[in-house]
Amino acid sequence: MSDSNLTIAIVGATGAVGAVALELLADRSYPAERIIAMASSRSAGKKLPYLGTELTVIEATPDAFDGVDVAFISASADVSRALAPEAVKRGALVIDDGSAFRMDPAVPLVVPEVNGADLEWHQGIVSIPNCTTTPLAMSLAALGQVATVTRVTVATYQAVSGTGAAAVRELDEQASDLLAGRPANPREYPHQIAFNVLPQVDDFAADGYTGEEHKMINETRKILHDSDIAISPTCVRVPVPVTHSEAVQVEFERSVSPKEATRLLSEFPGIVVVDEPQASVYPMPSQASGKDEVFVGRIRRDASHPNGLALWIACDNLRKGAALNALQIMDEAVRRNCVKPGR
Ligand SMILES: NC(=O)c1ccc[n+]([C@@H]2O[C@H](COP(=O)([O-])OP(=O)(O)OC[C@H]3O[C@@H](n4cnc5c(N)ncnc54)[C@H](OP(=O)(O)O)[C@@H]3O)[C@@H](O)[C@H]2O)c1
């Protein structure tokens, strides 16, 4: 099966990730008649501009998946849990953006550059990782080629679009309100996000880590097939519209030089090294937003550990962190001839 004749459903087409998925399909001139835009009943009938024409949004119901080959679901975990099995029942490959199935042992969690081969055993649903996990897993896969990674500490700087389209509007509104001397009105987050930094992404668990931090730990281990790797994340929301950044310290079983790390990262598919600190050149959201690659810089020896490296990552959370990774999974499934499960 080639990807040009696949009928694709985008569930959540009116959302932040869905909009980027449509942008990416338009970049490929994917034919409008092969795309079905779906969302909740609230959006049914809404028109979305696409390649000089319009897609009419329909409500995502089980029967709406009749005839669909690939369903990208970018809505919520509850929506995925309700609709993904229905889509699979009707013969679709579901590529799910949410957290519903990521840790299900029967569901591959895939970053094609790292573990594309896991697609071979899908049974209808493939999950994509959390948007902070993908760039971290790619960087660790690159570095782990020469020395086992034993421990990772990471602090994230996560953009508000990671929460969805409503949070982007809220950041804009709060910034305008505060600059005009009006109070901010938090809705998406427990505190104002404009001109602020929140050391909380998701709810707190009993161990003091948040749900997002647990996702980074568990998903990274699953993608890398390494249940021993020790990971301690601190996930932080920052008032940036798009692109998550991460400050990472990696410990290896042996010393890895910054030069060797730079070579490994540069050669890894989907990673671009941007690292001229003397010229103040390093990855930043303003530069990485709208780009497909994971950008890595500030590569240096960890001053606190002889076998450690420190680095800085920036990655567009809506592209490689979500919609692009999902489309690349479809491409990889086509390439491996495993769009349909149970070959
Ligand atoms: N944003 C990111 O960086 C990112 C990265 C990786 C993964 N994800 C995951 O992707 C998913 C979507 O995130 P987002 O940022 O795009 O959120 P969003 O901007 O809030 O959009 C949510 C989408 O889901 C749709 N939806 C809500 N209820 C629905 C229902 N009952 N049936 C069908 N569609 C429904 C909404 O449609 P209406 O317009 O009709 O309400 C909207 O299109 C989430 O699971 C998120 O965890 C997001």
Query: How is residue 237 annotated by DSSP?
Result: B
Is 43 a pocket residue for ligand 1 (Cβ < 6 Å)?
Answer: yes
318 lines ligand 1 (CB under 6 A): yes
> What amino acid occupies position 264?
L
- What is the per-residue pLDDT across 195-230, written as a single tens digit (0 to 9) for each? 999 999 999 999 999 999 999 999 999 999 999 999
Active site residue 131: yes
- Is 70 domain-assigned? yes
**Which residue's CA lies nearest to atom 14 of ligand 1?**
164
Global pTM? 0.96
Sheet holding 271-273, edge to edge: 230-234, 149-157, 244-252, 308-315, 294-301, 271-273
Q: What is the Å distance from ligand 1's center to 305 Cα?
A: 41
Which numbered atom of ligand 1 lies nearest the CA of 18?
16
Q: Please report the atom of ligand 1 found closest to the CA of residue 57.
A: 40
Quick one: 182 and 261 in the same domain?
yes
Give the residue, out of 76, 187, 316, 320, with the most ligand 1 atoms within 8 A of its beta carbon, to mutate for a pocket test. Answer: 76
Residue 60 is assigned to a structural domain of this protein = yes
42 lines ligand 1 (CB under 6 A): yes
> Would you say residue 241 lies in a domain?
yes
What is the reported pLDDT for 7? 97
E-assigned strand segments in 180-283: 230-234, 244-252, 271-273
In this structure, the answer to whether residues 154 and 249 fall within a common structural domain is yes
> Do residues 95 and 41 both lie within one domain?
yes
Work out the widest C-alpha separation in the chain, in whole angstroms. 62
The neighbour count for residue 285, using CB atoms within 10 Å, is: 20
Does residue 140 form part of some domain?
Answer: yes
Residue 153 has pLDDT above 50, yes or no: yes
Q: How far is the CA of 97 from the centre of ligand 1 (A)?
A: 9
Residue 74 lies in a domain: yes
Mean pLDDT of 35-54: 97
Q: What is the pLDDT of residue 342?
A: 60
* Partners of residue 36 on adjacent β-strands: 9
Residues 122 and 187 in one domain: no
In a domain, 343, yes or no: no
Residue range 159-193, pLDDT digits in tens: 999 999 999 999 999 999 999 999 999 999 999 99
Of 122, 214, 244, 315, the active-site residue reads 244
Model pLDDT, residue 120: 96
Residues 125, 155 within the same domain: no
**Residue 289's CB: how many other CB atoms inside 10 A?**
19
Residues 113, 137 share a domain = no
Q: Are both 138 and 62 inside the same structural domain?
A: no
| φ/ψ bin of 291: left (φ > 0), alpha (ψ from -120 to 50), beta (otherwise) | beta
User: Contact 223/111 with Cβ under 8 angstroms?
Assistant: yes
Confidence of residue 4 (pLDDT cuts 50, 70, 90): low
Q: How many CB atoms lie within 10 A of CB 183?
A: 9
Indicate which residue's Cα is closest to atom 15 of ligand 1. 164
165 and 282 co-located in one domain: yes
**CB of residue 134 inside a 6 A radius of ligand 1:** no
Does residue 147 have a pLDDT over 50? yes
With residue 299 as reference, give the H or E element that holds it. Answer: strand 294-301
C-alpha distances (whole Å) from 23 to each of 8, 13, 30, 323 are 14, 11, 10, 9
Structural domain contains residue 340: no
Q: Same domain for 42 and 163?
A: no
- Position 343 pLDDT exceeds 80: no
- What residues have CB less than 8 Å from 39, skipping those under 6 apart? 11, 12, 13, 14, 15, 18, 46, 57, 59, 60, 75
Instruction: Give the total number of structural domains in the chain.
Output: 2
Looking at the domain assignment, is residue 178 inside a domain?
yes
User: Residues 13, 142: one domain?
Assistant: no
Tens digit of pLDDT for each residue in 82-128? 999 999 999 999 999 999 999 999 999 999 999 999 999 999 999 99
Q: Are residues 205 and 232 located together in one domain of the fold?
A: yes
322 lines ligand 1 (CB under 6 A): yes
Decide: residue 5, CB within 10 A, 0-12 exposed, 13-18 middle, 19+ buried: exposed
For ligand 1, atom 20, name the residue with the nearest CA: 164
- Ligand 1, atom 32: nearest CA belongs to which residue? 40
The alpha carbon of 218 and the centre of ligand 1 are apart by a number of angstroms equal to 22
Q: Nearest-5° angle of CA 103, CA 136, CA 239? A: 100
Q: Does 101 lie in the same domain as 10? A: yes
Please provide the DSSP assignment of 159-216 as one string. Answer: -GGGT-HHHHHHHHHHHHHHHTTPPP--SSSSS--TT--BS-SS-B-TTS-BHHHHHH
For ligand 1, atom 29, which residue shows the shortest CA distance?
Answer: 40
CATH of the domain at 117: 3.40.50.720
What is the distance in angstroms between the CA of the first residue and the CA of the last residue of the chain?
13
CATH of the domain at 294: 3.30.360.10
The two structure tokens encoding residue 311: 């680095």
Residue 166, token pair as written in the block: 């409503």
Q: Give the domain range for residue 94.
A: 3-129+322-335
Angstrom distances, CA of residue 30 to CA of 5, 34, 48, 55, 336? 9, 8, 15, 13, 20
Q: Which tens digit of pLDDT belongs to each residue from 134-144?
A: 999 999 999 99
**161 CA closest ligand 1 atom index:** 1
- The two three-digit tokens of residue 26, written as one number: 């338009």
Q: Is the pLDDT of residue 42 over 80?
A: yes
User: 275: Cβ below 6 Å to ligand 1?
Assistant: no
Whether residue 249 contacts residue 234, with contact meaning beta carbons closer than 8 Å, is answered with: no
Residue 10 pLDDT grade (very low, low, confident, very high; cuts 50, 70, 90): very high
Residue closest by Cα to atom 36 of ligand 1: 12
Q: What's the rounded Cα separation, in Å, for the pair 217 and 236? A: 15
| Residue 331 CA, ligand 1 centroid: distance in Å | 22
By residue count, the chain amounts to: 343
Distances (CA, A) of 233 to 133, 144, 183, 308: 10, 19, 32, 16
Torsion, Cα 47 9 98 74, to 10 degrees, reads -10
Determine whether the shortest distance from the Cβ of 143 to ligand 1 is under 6 A.
no
